[in-house]
Structure 1
């Protein structure tokens, strides 16, 4: 056989032997192996298949509907760098360009392989205590920073002497730890007024507060609480410099202690604040309505749902190349180090836009969210009737779907098609159906709301006009919520109340003893060290009464002398150390010698008449 005959036999075929190429629309989710197995080179099953465009309602007017323009094509015929080629193709297909268009065809989803490493990264175990978990996100160095800056602030701004409060004593890490524990305990034990936690009324008293710290010391710490040097140099553009040391540490620990799972959400919270600040926001849809806005990126699924991986406090400076809504999302993902790892993001209609989702696609991040129809690049011909859907898709794998339930709901997604799912029966036994993208959105948007709900259940915040103190205690609540999420990710079963209670117990046990926090701590003296000749009453400044320490501690000699000893204990003549009867034997020397009536008038409220006649004459 000649070469011509061989070539002729190879490239010629009869009409009966010809097998048409397999051609699937974009609704196909089958792999190449499944396709080859299912059709086996025969298109006889094609006419009545589930992919028939006439039954699915998808227009198929030309072969252009099946053209696939990849977002990244690595087959290059020139020496152009791959990064430059990808950038050029991404810009060419971006919303707002002539090549970007919407068409009524099923979406071809581009799946990104999930390359994240979710889980607890802090050195913790299943048996770790709540205090150990809390310390992993609120480290010891942060307590030390608070101690240093608080003491520095008092040195820079000496306190005005007060007749009812003692002078300032430098605080310590142990004392600040006890102070934070009391703030947590206040959230667990709600009171009408702060003074009631130190009340002596048996019906209202809580002995833990008085045993840990006096009310005056607590007020002094609250007043002097600081986190940065007021006289140091700070960047002019940093409006959060008063909290910068705290913010830097928390942002680092939130990112390193735990890595969230695939589904995350971005939303804003409103921290209530009624003081004055240039960044205050008014949002009638929020419960607080007026306060400071905070952007948060939280985990949406699993036992750690509600964990805040990154946050950003709005200070009115979101100006840049991107719009403020887009910049908030990209900044949070960059802080949490979640780009290019296959994460799936959920946002509401304030953030969602075709421009943002196209950018996230280029960073290997899927996105789902509700969207406003007036966003730039949105289709203008969506018309869905009640109970029906209408959708458009782009060549880049983005779908815009409108569904009418009680009112129109418009969704934008790079991870879904127009598939409709049936939900489990409700309480009345009625089965409902809705688009898969809507059901996924309802489950994926709960992260930030759950975080806010947990933080507001037992708040540590109190009324204050200092914005940085208010923000600090909001951060403290958010840190505790993160610690609870880590505890649950480790397999812990404690409720939030039990977790906070054990956390308070650990903080107070590591705090300082009561004596170091008393307003008038006694001097470290012992009875045997004080000579009896020095045990004399002296005149005190401003004629103020003082208790005799040894007389106060001396037990009654006999059971019948209980009443007399109680009266003796209330004799408060001098701040020097006194003991027992010698105090009374020298009263005659202390009072005027020729005025017995004055002696009676001075001591008639403290001693029986017989004692006055015996020791004052």
Structure 2
């Protein structure tokens, strides 16, 4: 009897994957997926039916879930096959519900209205509903007479044409500002010392020898920080190096290396040790406000003003760091700067943080319009003329500034709201003009079309002072373009001048970078104020800062005693070349053979003690001046006013 043959049971491992993909299997899978989609859509519809509190209808119904999205079932999020293969890897988000918000600019008058329809849109204050543009050949601009005779340097500065250059700097960084910095720095160091747990690394990190900072010491620290922009070295320790190849004797004369590093480590500007709600600049808000107040108080602008962006280099971790590819540094803190066009003086600035503390949110003219309103708030109703680039300029904002008695001129983006349409194909050099009341919309074709919106120009062609290299004819441009190019470059010019004395140091603390940039702006404004009072244009910004540094050392610096009795050989020979020329020698003998005596130069003309006539037989070999060998020789070669 033969045994019955049995068919072996096939496991999943013995069946190849293609054998499973039968027609019945595919049909069953399709029905299963269809059933899940119906369940998902029915659950959404039931939830929508229960929500009856909001009568506003949706513009479009919710779309059913697609295979490319992520589906939620059973309290968990399930990825679809396409996402598992590397598709969407974002979080699950419900389909966006866009609601109807009819605007008078786009709604038709014959649209039916019903009690269940959404509430009609009410135009906000300052919003332009429509602007009527018409072509014109001649345009009469608005008149902005500026007759403010008090523009320029204000008496609150406390300086005159004969004042010392240091007095201009001390007007900004006075005792009030420096006392704030000193007190907050000392408190911050004490806070860090108390913060560490006993035995922790943080506790020992702040137990180095420390004495509280004083106001004169902080002035010396600022002088060294500004001096580092003139003496470039790769490492901070190299400034205090005694190597004869790279040494700089002034470093270490008034402050040691470790003391400078400790002050920079604990530099602080606020007593608040925790974040302030909605204020990301709380760490140096107080010091920034004090300096801004002095910027506005010491100088009253002339008629023409300009607003532009400035970028301070910072590549650390920061929530409101900005990227501007057209700037030199590209990454950093973005400053919105208001400058006077005639002098380049920085009147005010705003640091972009992404919050509505400094710039009001929800402005009808957008974020860029809110920036203009905030910076110009103190200068409205004074017949100023404002120059802006295409980030700020718009017809709606221009009309608002006209109501505030402020003229404007700036480039405009092609797709700005209410901007008139111009033909796309035009020959180079052609000008098309359209006016809407006192506003003039102008398109001038150079290499590409240039759109200008102005309320203070006629749009007529003028000689630009340049000559075409091909035709040897003078190049003509509209008056608005020429005036815009002259005045719009002031912020970039200020950035260029500041970059020459940039004292920024590498740090992880963004507020220290912001403070050092404000220090550079203070030096720039001191240079402009000094030029306005003395009419001296030969003194450059670098030379003025060097004079400020030397006078800070002379007034607040205290020479440190040398540590150690034995001097280094390199230090002993540091002035060998100078002393080889400037040395004491005997006066020439007289014809009678006796020693020659002459009157000491220092004793006769000194201003530090009583004058007297002292006969000496010594003189300086290089200067050929009779000097006493004990004190007068050293004073003559080390003091400017001996």
Which category describes the TM-score, using the shorter chain as reference length?
A: 0.5 to 0.7
Structure 1 partner of 2:185: 150
**Does the aligned pair in 2 maintain the 1:392–1:401 contact within 8 Å?**
yes
Change beyond 3 A, Cα 1:165–1:182: farther
Change beyond 3 A, Cα 1:279–1:252: same
Distance in 1 of aligned mates of 2:488 and 2:442? 18
Structure 2 partner of 1:132: 167
What pairs up with 1:276-315 in 2 under 5 angstroms?
Answer: 276-301=317-342, 304=343, 306-315=344-353
Change beyond 3 A, Cα 1:427–1:387: closer
- Give deviations 1:188-228, integer Å, cap 9, x for gaps: 11112211111101221111111011111110001010010
**Does the aligned pair in 2 maintain the 1:107–1:398 contact within 8 Å?**
no
What pairs up with 1:419-434 in 2 under 5 angstroms?
Answer: 419-426=460-467, 430-434=473-477
Distance in 2 of aligned mates of 1:510 and 1:152? 26
Structure 2 partner of 1:603: none
What pairs up with 1:222-241 in 2 under 5 angstroms?
Answer: 222-231=264-273, 235-241=276-282
Name the SS for the 2:229 alignment partner.
helix
What pairs up with 1:423-462 in 2 under 5 angstroms?
Answer: 423-426=464-467, 430-462=473-505
RMSD across aligned C-alpha pairs, in angstroms?
A: 2.5
Distance in 2 of aligned mates of 1:271 and 1:436? 33
**Does the aligned pair in 2 maintain the 1:274–1:290 contact within 8 Å?**
yes
What pairs up with 1:136-285 in 2 under 5 angstroms?
Answer: 136-158=171-193, 166-231=208-273, 235-285=276-326
1:413 is displaced (CA, Å) by: 0.3
Structure 2 partner of 1:82: none
TM-score by length of structure 2 reads 0.63
**Does the aligned pair in 2 maintain the 1:341–1:364 contact within 8 Å?**
yes
1:231 is displaced (CA, Å) by: 3.7
1:115 is displaced (CA, Å) by: 4.6
Distance in 2 of aligned mates of 1:131 and 1:291? 31
Structure 2 partner of 1:37: none
**Does the aligned pair in 2 maintain the 1:352–1:371 contact within 8 Å?**
yes
Distance in 1 of aligned mates of 2:151 and 2:205? 57
1:464 is displaced (CA, Å) by: 0.4
**Which of 129, 145, 152 is matched with 1:97 structurally?**
129
**Does the aligned pair in 1 maintain the 2:152–2:301 contact within 8 Å?**
yes
Change beyond 3 A, Cα 1:263–1:382: farther
Q: How many residue pairs were aligned?
A: 424
Structure 2 partner of 1:393: 435
Change beyond 3 A, Cα 1:93–1:405: farther
* Pairing 1:509–2:554 present: yes
**Does the aligned pair in 2 maintain the 1:134–1:479 contact within 8 Å?**
yes
- Give deviations 1:90-119, integer Å, cap 9, x for gaps: x99977424x20001233311122154311
* Pairing 1:500–2:522 present: no
**Does the aligned pair in 2 maintain the 1:423–1:433 contact within 8 Å?**
yes
1:130 is displaced (CA, Å) by: 2.0
Structure 1 partner of 2:20: none
**Does the aligned pair in 2 maintain the 1:118–1:259 contact within 8 Å?**
yes
1:166 is displaced (CA, Å) by: 5.0
Distance in 2 of aligned mates of 1:112 and 1:194? 53
Distance in 1 of aligned mates of 2:310 and 2:556? 33
**Which of 139, 152, 163 is matched with 1:119 structurally?**
152
Give the structure with the higher percent helix. 1
**Which of 320, 340, 343 is matched with 2:362 structurally?**
320
**Does the aligned pair in 2 maintain the 1:161–1:167 contact within 8 Å?**
no
**Does the aligned pair in 2 maintain the 1:402–1:408 contact within 8 Å?**
yes
Change beyond 3 A, Cα 1:272–1:139: same
For structure 2, the residue ranges without an aligned partner over 5 or more in a row are: 1-122, 195-201, 568-642
**Does the aligned pair in 2 maintain the 1:269–1:296 contact within 8 Å?**
yes
Change beyond 3 A, Cα 1:425–1:379: closer
Distance in 2 of aligned mates of 1:426 and 1:212? 56
- Give deviations 1:6-64, integer Å, cap 9, x for gaps: xxxxxxxxxxxxxxxxxxxxxxxxxxxxxxxxxxxxxxxxxxxxxxxxxxxxxxxxxxx
Structure 1 partner of 2:422: 381
**Does the aligned pair in 1 maintain the 2:193–2:206 contact within 8 Å?**
no
Distance in 2 of aligned mates of 1:360 and 1:198? 54
Distance in 1 of aligned mates of 2:272 and 2:532? 40
Distance in 2 of aligned mates of 1:125 and 1:285? 40
Change beyond 3 A, Cα 1:114–1:93: farther
Name the SS for the 2:547 alignment partner.
helix
Structure 1 partner of 2:519: 476
TM-score by length of structure 1 reads 0.65
**Does the aligned pair in 1 maintain the 2:307–2:336 contact within 8 Å?**
yes
**Does the aligned pair in 2 maintain the 1:339–1:365 contact within 8 Å?**
yes
**Does the aligned pair in 1 maintain the 2:229–2:503 contact within 8 Å?**
yes
